[in-house]
Structure 1
Amino acid sequence: MANIQTLDPSASPLDYYGWELRRLREANNLNQTELGRCIFCTGSLIGQIETTKKVPTRDFSERVDAALGTDGVFSRLIGLVLRSQLPSWFQPYAEMESCATYISTYQAQLVYGLLQTEEYARAVLATGMPEDLDGQVAARMERQRILERERPPLTWAVLDEAVLHRPIGGPEVMRRQLQRLLDVTGHRWMQIQVLPFAAGEHASLDGSFTTMRFEDDPDIVYTEDIVSGHMTASPDTVREAALRYARLQAAALSVEDSAALITRVMEERYGDRFRAEERAVA
């Protein structure tokens, strides 16, 4: 007789998801292999998700809902599950981010998380050597769903030019990432400026920061250090951040010139000519 792992549905959102998946699968008189066939995956994957060894995806959840006729139970639950996979210190920020009506961010090292492609995010997150890289990537992609709303937060990103040149994941990944920036910058709710190297010293040499505004709550400033994140609603800090951001915007290229620079870097550093030169050197 198989050894059935006992689950505690109150232990975590992931445990509850696995418990519900097993309960509803059995209520439909399906074994793991049979359900796997219905949703085009292996029975082994079903078992791993039921026992919390694998984190489900949104696509998996939608297919399970369709197969089991669960009226969107797993599609509604998956957001909570994926948010729980974020680092504990980051979860409060993600919760506030999902409620923001306006986000302004300066990024000195990397593309802002809400704008990262899945490949780029995977390369970035892999540097931390997480136990469940797939889960963390899925959680980051889930955060981006706030940009798909009918009324997404107005978002303004100032990226240091170094972000464009740092080859995260290799040339192909970077080319697709820069194309993603060009694709979204045409939306009325998204503005991207590049702070060029030529700007020299600037108002945020200390590093990246993000400010969020809300309909009914005070503004919040968010910063990170090497191991954690910090949020504050201190009026003095919010005022200082707003002043610094205004100076960054003034020093940065216009939205149109920024798009032109992104295009030029994409072609010169990560385009066909770059790949040809790389092969010639090799």
Structure 2
Amino acid sequence: MQAFSFPVTDNHIHIDPAGGRGAEAVKDFRRAGGTHMMLVTKPSWSLGVHPVKGEDFREVFDMTLAVAEMCRENGVVAFPVLGVHPAEIGILTRRMPLEAAAAIMKDGLSLAGEYVAAGKAVAIKSGRPHYPVEEEVWEVSNDVLRHALEVAADTGCAVQIHSESGPCSDVVAMAERAGLPVERVVKHFAVPDTPLTPSLVAKHEAIPALIAEGRRFMMESDYMDDNSRPGAVVGPKSVPRFTRRMYESGVMSEDAAWRIHGETPSRVYGIDISLP
């Protein structure tokens, strides 16, 4: 397939050599025209890790770094995004009190910040439950998210947040209080009206209109690379294929492609996305 004259970046993708297709998914992404990916930590339990302290997330993070290296060996530039999935709160509280679970999650996020500070990762991941929970769990989850924003501000990195559907407008004030520029807070699985930096799944019906408006956003697959859920959320080829369709139809110009896949992620994450 003919290569693009611009990079193609999947802003939120998981690759799992043990529980998923691993290198084959990476090769599919590359063959379809993908060049860069923000490689996001999978939830600890999906990797067989069951934390009892924040330090236990080190195993999860080190697995992600190893996968990033495997991606590079297969021709794709992978930038690790390390963090603690907000659904960890529900898993951990099966084994411990709520406050203890929150403390472990905060410690895990602080550890992720250390990896970023050491140059091993480029951003952290946090959020709050995207499903109904008790008010107490919601408040504690927001406290964990506030800690993530503070870690990111102290480290000078971006945060991807996994949370409920909708604009999540209240996170703006949380980021401002933490001292983190709102532009560096990325809403994963976003809706267009979020005041955060939106990352839209590569089939979202609003993408053509946002391109026409010159809006800054990124694209993602949220591919889970889980053999028990093949293709969820959409497959590893989806971002490059959707980009090709938009580009060849004239909806997406080369300038727009560079803005979506190169300039915006470079600016948000403080990285260099360019073609060799």
Q: What TM-score do you get using the length of structure 1 for normalisation?
A: 0.30
Greater C-alpha radius of gyration: 1
With CA pairs under 8 Å and 6+ residues apart, which has the higher RCO, 1 or 2?
2
More helix by share: 1
